[in-house]
């Protein structure tokens, strides 16, 4: 099975529950990503890895046109029925896009690159290619809450799926390698997100969910403090999820 087929199979299982994920639909995080794009009424925007269209629909009121792409037909089937009239959606691979060079004025990719195990540089170069000179790429990924929690974070996510762990500086290096200039980073904290909600909508079997939940219940003090973790009476864990939002400009 190819890497793309594995990713498609993974998201086919998760498509039905994706919009139930608290972190994904949080207005504050969506708006932080949207605002990072410095959107203009004339912008033509690409939302790479659009999934169910959350970012595309949030961007649409501020721009002329949005094209959302994703490799998962099942995720695209779940596109929000409230889609904006200036949004279109297509099955497309962010690592090998059909769009001509210098086509978009802005490109967004939220929580996509951690899935591209061997393709992050190729995808970043593709995002650079399809941008107009002076256009901006907005890349956002979840990151460990601190440097000291990196190993725990990576081990925990290894129980969930095969994925990459990023820090803000590794995302900055990725954009630099692709040719982007004027790279700047901001952090966004989504406060007290439910781990139970995340796991119940993860598509994982119950036994795997229990292992990951137990890791959170048993998290060492350095992790607990970095996450500002709260342990609820009904057995849930609430954490401050950290996201890096990195923006680069095509020269």
Question: What tens-digit pLDDT sequence spans the chain (251 residues)?
Answer: 455 555 665 555 555 566 678 888 899 999 999 999 999 999 999 999 998 889 999 999 999 999 999 988 777 775 654 567 899 999 999 999 999 999 999 999 999 999 998 899 999 999 999 999 999 999 999 999 999 999 999 999 999 999 999 999 999 999 999 999 999 999 999 999 999 999 999 889 999 999 999 999 999 999 999 999 999 999 999 999 999 999 999 99
Distance CA 91, CA 106 (A): 19
Residue 179: CATH number of its domain: 3.40.50.150
Q: Is residue 204 part of a domain?
A: no
Q: How many domains does the chain have?
A: 1
Q: Is residue 221 part of a domain?
A: no
Q: Is residue 175 part of a domain?
A: yes
Distance CA 138, CA 76 (A): 21
C-alpha torsion 94→96→99→105, nearest 10: 40
Contact 134, 249 (CB under 8 A): yes
Residue range of the domain that includes 31: 3-143+163-190+242-250
Say if residue 149 is exposed, middle or buried (CB neighbours under 10 Å; 0-12, 13-18, 19+): buried
Provide the 3-class DSSP secondary structure of residue 246: strand
Q: Is residue 169 part of a domain?
A: yes
Q: Is residue 65 part of a domain?
A: yes
Q: Is residue 54 part of a domain?
A: yes
pTM for the predicted model, two decimal places = 0.92
Distant-in-sequence, close-in-space partners of 247: CB < 8 Å, separation ≥ 6: 36, 37, 136, 137, 138, 139, 183, 184, 185
Q: Is residue 199 part of a domain?
A: no
């Amino acid at each position: 099975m190819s890497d793309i087929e594995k990713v498609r199979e993974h998201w086919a299982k998760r498509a039905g529950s994706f919009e139930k994920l608290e972190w994904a639909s949080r207005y504050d995080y969506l708006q932080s990503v949207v605002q990072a794009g410095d959107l203009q009424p004339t912008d033509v925007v690409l939302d790479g890895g659009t999934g169910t269209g959350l970012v595309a629909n949030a961007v649409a009121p501020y721009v002329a046109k949005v094209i959302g792409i994703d490799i998962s037909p099942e995720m695209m089937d779940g596109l929000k029925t409230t889609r904006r009239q200036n949004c279109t959606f297509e099955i497309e691979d962010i690592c090998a896009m059909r769009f001509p060079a210098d086509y978009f004025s802005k490109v967004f990719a939220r929580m996509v690159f951690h899935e591209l195990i061997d393709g992050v540089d190729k995808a970043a170069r593709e995002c650079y290619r399809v941008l107009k000179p002076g256009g901006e790429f907005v890349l956002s990924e979840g990151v460990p809450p601190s440097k000291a929690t990196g190993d725990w974070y990576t081990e925990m996510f290894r129980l969930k799926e095969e994925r990459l762990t990023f820090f803000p500086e590794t995302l900055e290096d990725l954009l630099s390698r692709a040719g982007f200039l004027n790279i700047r980073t901001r952090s966004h904290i989504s406060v007290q997100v439910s781990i139970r909600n995340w796991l119940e909508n993860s598509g994982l079997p119950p036994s795997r969910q229990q292992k990951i939940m137990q890791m959170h219940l048993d998290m060492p003090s350095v992790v607990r403090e970095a996450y500002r973790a709260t342990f609820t009476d009904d057995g849930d864990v609430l954490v401050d999820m950290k996201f890096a939002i990195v923006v680069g400009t095509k020269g």
